């Protein structure tokens, strides 16, 4: 019993330490945004790696998501003679949930893993220690440009994903289900509100902060050579996924049920 309680206490303290480290890193990164010197070139380079290089996969996932949403909803709604609500379902689902969440998961799996691996490699090869030796702040030099890039590109990619998902639904609805173009477009604009759009964008900002802080924290705390970098990368992706879904649940309840 004593050994069990010791293990439980150790896990609780580890979780507390991890949470504190994440919050502290996120706070320092946020404050570092307003502190010169501003690394514009690094920020634009990270925006290209995170945003532009992820455009193709975001396009594919969003397009197929919109198509699947139409097929699945049409299967049920056609039984009720309610085909006109297909556009409602697709637009609301994409803007409130599917667009922000799927985009964040894609970025976490692709860019988050890359950030963690890159910083982890720098950590185990003592490049981070070299920065500190030269009186450079590793957080300001390494984390802040990635933080700015993620906070900029994830909302932009979310807007793009929403649009592509609705376009995918539009294509299937017009060509396969016999819904007129004007009916689909009018139904889409009829049901969408600014709250639906901005709640999704707000969540995308939270997801971006989660991805950056978790990935950078794991990378900067990597230990044990190549194996340690691999573990840090895996943990960064897994923890980002869990926190993204948890944050989505929390803010959906806040926006629509509080």
Calculate mean pLDDT across residues 71-95.
Answer: 81
Can you read off the two tokens belonging to residue 130?
A: 């070299």
Residues comprising the chain, all counted: 258
Handedness of CA 44, 50, 51, 54 (dihedral sign): positive
Greatest Cα pair distance, the chain, in angstroms, is: 70
Residue 90's nearest CA partner among 179, 7, 4, 18 is: 179
10 Å CB burial of residue 131 (0-12, 13-18, 19+) is: middle
End-to-end CA distance of the chain: 42
Band of residue 64 on the pLDDT scale cut at 50, 70, 90: very high
pTM, two decimals, is 0.92
Give 27-57 pLDDT, tens digit per residue.
Answer: 999 888 888 877 889 999 999 999 999 999 9
Residues 6 or more apart whose CB falls under 8 angstroms from that of 207 comprise 100, 101, 103, 104, 107, 108, 154, 244, 247, 248
More confident residue, 245 or 87: 245
- Provide the CB-side half-sphere exposure for 173 (13 A, CA): 32
Structure confidence by residue, pLDDT tens digits, 164-206: 999 999 998 888 777 888 888 888 888 888 888 999 999 999 9
Q: Is 46 exposed, middle or buried (0-12, 13-18, 19+ CB in 10 A)?
A: buried
């Amino acid at each position: 019993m004593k050994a069990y309680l010791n293990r439980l206490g150790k896990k609780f303290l580890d979780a507390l330490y991890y949470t504190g480290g994440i919050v502290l890193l996120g706070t320092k990164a946020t404050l570092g945004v307003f502190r010169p010197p501003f690394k514009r070139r690094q920020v634009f380079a990270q925006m290209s790696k995170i945003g532009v290089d992820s455009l193709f996969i975001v396009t594919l996932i969003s397009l197929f998501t919109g198509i699947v949403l139409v097929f699945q909803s049409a299967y049920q709604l056609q039984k009720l003679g309610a085909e006109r609500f297909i556009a409602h379902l697709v637009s609301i689902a994409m803007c409130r949930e599917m667009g922000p969440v799927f985009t964040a998961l894609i970025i976490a799996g692709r860019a988050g893993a890359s950030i963690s691996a890159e910083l982890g490699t720098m950590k185990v090869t003592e490049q981070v220690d070299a920065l500190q030796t030269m009186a450079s702040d590793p957080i300001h030099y390494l984390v802040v440009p990635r933080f700015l890039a993620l906070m900029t590109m994830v909302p932009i990619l979310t807007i793009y994903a929403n649009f592509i998902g609705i376009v995918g639904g539009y294509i299937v609805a017009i060509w396969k289900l016999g819904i007129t173009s004007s009916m689909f477009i009018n139904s889409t604009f009829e049901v969408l509100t600014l709250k639906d759009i901005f709640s999704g964008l707000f969540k995308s900002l939270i997801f971006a902060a989660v991805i950056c802080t978790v990935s950078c924290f794991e990378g900067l705390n990597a230990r044990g050579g190549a194996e340690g970098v691999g573990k840090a990368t895996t943990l960064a992706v897994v923890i980002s996924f869990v926190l993204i879904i948890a944050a989505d649940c929390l803010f959906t309840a806040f926006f629509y049920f509080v």
